[in-house]
């Protein structure tokens, strides 16, 4: 028995020593085993690195292409402005016609060739091209087509004293706008995976073409000068001094074409800005691979008032007042001149509406700071672009306001109308800053119906799903999400206040979008800044800032709708 016990003890000691030796060998091999087993990982990481470098190179090359096209077109347009003898408007039109033809060929090839190849569009960005952006694209595109139709009609009525070649350029633009609108509506969410470099170059060429069209619309006042010259020549003819033979053959039709062209002119610049934004998002999405959970659009709640009363009522009051002022201005604009009291009514309306909007935005920003909702810190290119567009578009009206402030302070700041314009300019700057804070803070809050990804990941790690239990897991997740919505979707005072504020601001921004978009431009018609800066300078300033201001109001409505739904 002692011998057997000693043998058993010796065998246990030898087994323990063998285990220790095995553990030491595993510890010594542990640092080197990844180097021996990770050749496949290193190979794939090398391929990913090369793919990332190729993507960066493609973005750089296409960006440089767009930069050179914009500089070339900008040089043509500036030469036309400062030396219209050597470089005429016709030369600029020829350059833009060539760019539109090239962009049109690429758009047709992208739709008929690239997107129809296998594995071309494996992913679609759910955040790109929301319905309000695509709706605005169709609206402004239709208005721009009507603008060119009016331009063709106006040129046809003056065909006896104009070159027939001028009729070609509006027709080319009509075809270009129609095809571009259709392609952007259909493919704005695409994450293309083949022919990536060619697609990037095509997108950047089309973006540069739209940017040059916007720049020409901002700086070119030839049509406006032509209309004013014809009106003055018509007045001279009626007074007995026939000094101009290039008059319209049909006065009634020319009046329709003239009014339609002047009213729809800002829509062309709006359309170019929207196309640039959508093309930039498509360019960023070229070669992008989305995560599996990002392939489907996160569920959003339908738009309901949810008992909101005061916000819609106050917003409707502002909307009704704005419509009344808009009708008065349109009636006055049909006459020879706008009376001074109508400018006073217009600026008094703004002086009453803008402080209310600013206070609502500040209150909403303060409520955001008191909320329990988490900040959404995940990378979202569409949201980042929304923030950049919101901040950039605000510079338009803010720039006009600063120019107005300088002109008023330097001339006659003590008159009633000038005081109202001064107050309007200052309040407009403050309202833009307050509204940007409120919208950006709301866009970065996680909506209540979206569960936290970290929480979901932690739950999956804590309770790994067993095989064959996917259906049960889906039912559990559905019950958990319903319980989350039931627990946190009750209306406390913060959520109700945010919804009231959002609805009030939505209606106010619709009102302030409608008035300048459909032909009310008191900044140009009151004569104060135009006399101070000169016609040409102030025309460029207004045409640069006014479309950005209209775009800002439209973009703010979309952002406020998302803030409302997220609350």
Per-residue pLDDT tens over the stretch 548-560:
888 888 888 888 8
Contacts of 208 (CB under 8 A, 6+ apart): 65, 66, 69, 70, 73, 99
| One domain, residues 351 and 441 | yes
Q: What pTM did the predictor assign? A: 0.72
| Half-sphere exposure at residue 15, Cβ-oriented, CA atoms within 13 angstroms | 6
| One domain, residues 60 and 191 | yes
3-state SS string over 216-264?
HHHHCCHHHHHHHHHHHHHHHHHCCCCCCCCCCCCHHHHHHHHHHHHHH
Contact 193, 115 (CB under 8 A): no
C-alpha 464/C-alpha 455 separation (Å) is: 14
Neighbours of 264 (CB within 10 A): 23
Which DSSP symbol is given to 111?
A: I
Q: What is the pLDDT of residues 111-132, one digit of tens each?
A: 998 888 888 888 787 777 778 7
Residue 190, helix vs strand vs coil? strand
What pLDDT score was predicted for residue 327? 85
| Percent helix / strand / coil, the chain, rounded to 5 | 80, 0, 20
| One domain, residues 319 and 212 | no
Count of helices and strands (H, E) across the chain: 19, 2
Among 60, 223, 285, smallest CA distance to 231 is for: 223
| One domain, residues 261 and 320 | no
3-state SS string over 174-189?
HHHHHHHHHHHHHHCC
C-alpha 223/C-alpha 236 separation (Å) is: 20
| One domain, residues 265 and 188 | yes
| One domain, residues 270 and 352 | no
Q: What is the pLDDT of residues 365-375, one digit of tens each?
A: 888 877 766 66
Note whether residue 515 is domain-resident: yes
Note whether residue 302 is domain-resident: no
Contact 104, 217 (CB under 8 A): no
| One domain, residues 168 and 225 | yes
Note whether residue 103 is domain-resident: yes
What pLDDT score was predicted for residue 138? 92
Note whether residue 20 is domain-resident: no
Angle at which helices 340-370 and 310-333 cross, to 10°: 160
Q: Which domain holds residue 182?
A: 47-235+248-285
What pLDDT score was predicted for residue 243? 54
Among 506, 500, 370, 520, smallest CA distance to 435 is for: 506
Note whether residue 482 is domain-resident: no
What pLDDT score was predicted for residue 239? 57
Note whether residue 173 is domain-resident: yes
Note whether residue 485 is domain-resident: no
| One domain, residues 335 and 272 | no
| One domain, residues 261 and 335 | no
**Environment class of residue 41 by beta-carbon count within 10 Å: exposed (0-12), middle (13-18) or buried (19+)?**
exposed
| One domain, residues 256 and 356 | no
| One domain, residues 117 and 190 | yes
| One domain, residues 336 and 266 | no
Alpha helices in 83-130 (DSSP H): 89-109
Share of the chain above pLDDT 90, in %: 21
C-alpha 20/C-alpha 26 separation (Å) is: 10
Q: What is the pLDDT of residues 321-353, one digit of tens each?
A: 998 988 887 777 655 556 677 788 888 899 999
Which DSSP symbol is given to 293?
A: G
Note whether residue 5 is domain-resident: no
124 has which bridge partners?
A: 190
Residues of the chain with pLDDT under 70: 1-44, 46-48, 51, 160, 162, 164, 221-247, 249, 291-308, 333-339, 372-381, 446-491, 519, 567
Domain count, the chain: 2
Among 38, 59, 74, smallest CA distance to 214 is for: 74
What pLDDT score was predicted for residue 317? 93
C-alpha 14/C-alpha 333 separation (Å) is: 106
């Amino acid at each position: 028995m002692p011998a057997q016990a000693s043998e058993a003890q010796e065998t246990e000691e030898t087994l323990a020593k063998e285990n220790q030796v095995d553990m030491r060998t595993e510890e010594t091999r542990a640092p080197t085993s990844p180097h021996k087993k990770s050749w496949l990982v290193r190979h794939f990481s090398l391929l990913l690195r090369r793919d990332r470098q190729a993507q960066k190179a493609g973005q750089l090359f296409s960006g440089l292409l767009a930069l050179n096209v914009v500089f070339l077109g900008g040089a043509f347009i500036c030469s036309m402005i400062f030396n219209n003898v050597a470089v005429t408007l016709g030369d600029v039109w020829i350059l833009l016609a060539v760019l539109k033809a090239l962009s049109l060929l690429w758009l047709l090839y992208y739709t008929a060739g690239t997107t129809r190849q296998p594995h071309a569009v494996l992913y679609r960005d759910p955040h790109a091209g929301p319905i309000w952006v695509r709706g605005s694209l169709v609206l402004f595109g239709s208005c721009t087509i009507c603008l060119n139709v009016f331009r063709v009609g106006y040129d046809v009525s003056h065909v006896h004293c104009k070159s027939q070649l001028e009729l070609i350029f509006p027709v080319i633009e009509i075809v270009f706008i129609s095809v571009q609108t259709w392609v952007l509506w259909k493919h704005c969410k695409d994450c293309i995976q083949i022919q990536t470099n060619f697609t990037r170059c095509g997108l950047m060429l089309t973006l540069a073409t739209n940017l040059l069209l916007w720049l020409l619309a901002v700086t070119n006042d030839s049509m406006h000068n032509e209309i004013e010259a014809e009106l003055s020549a018509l007045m001279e003819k009626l007074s007995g001094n026939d000094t101009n033979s290039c008059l319209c053959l049909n006065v009634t039709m020319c009046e329709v074409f003239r009014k339609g062209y002047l009213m729809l002119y800002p829509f062309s610049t709006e359309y170019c800005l929207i196309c640039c934004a959508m093309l930039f998002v498509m360019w960023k999405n070229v070669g992008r691979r989305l995560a599996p959970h990002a392939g489907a659009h996160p569920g959003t709640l339908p738009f309901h008032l949810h008992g909101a009363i005061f916000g819609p009522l106050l917003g409707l009051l502002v909307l009704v007042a704005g419509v009344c002022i808009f009708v008065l201005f349109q009636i006055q604009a049909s006459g020879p001149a706008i009376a001074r009291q109508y400018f006073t009514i217009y600026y008094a309306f703004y002086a009453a509406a803008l402080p209310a909007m600013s206070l609502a935005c500040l209150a909403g920003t303060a409520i955001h700071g008191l909320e329990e909702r988490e900040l959404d810190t995940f990378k979202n290119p569409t949201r980042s672009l929304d923030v950049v567009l919101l901040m950039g578009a605000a510079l338009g009206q803010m720039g006009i306001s600063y120019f107005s402030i300088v002109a008023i302070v330097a001339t006659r700041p003590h008159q009633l109308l000038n005081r109202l314009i001064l107050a309007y300019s200052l309040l407009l700057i403050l309202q833009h800053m307050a509204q940007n804070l409120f919208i950006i803070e709301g866009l970065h809050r996680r909506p209540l119906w979206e569960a936290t990804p970290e929480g979901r990941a932690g739950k999956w790690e804590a309770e790994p799903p067993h095989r064959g239990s996917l259906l049960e897991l889906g039912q559990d997740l559905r019950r958990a999400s319903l319980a989350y919505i039931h627990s946190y979707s009750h209306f406390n005072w913060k959520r109700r206040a945010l919804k009231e504020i959002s609805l009030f601001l939505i209606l106010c921004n619709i009102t302030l979008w409608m008035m300048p978009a459909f032909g009310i431009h008191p900044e140009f018609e009151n004569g104060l800044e135009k006399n101070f800066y000169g016609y040409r300078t102030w025309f460029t300033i207004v045409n640069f800032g006014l479309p950005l201001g209209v775009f800002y109001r439209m973009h703010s409505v979309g952002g406020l709708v998302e803030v409302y739904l997220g609350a």
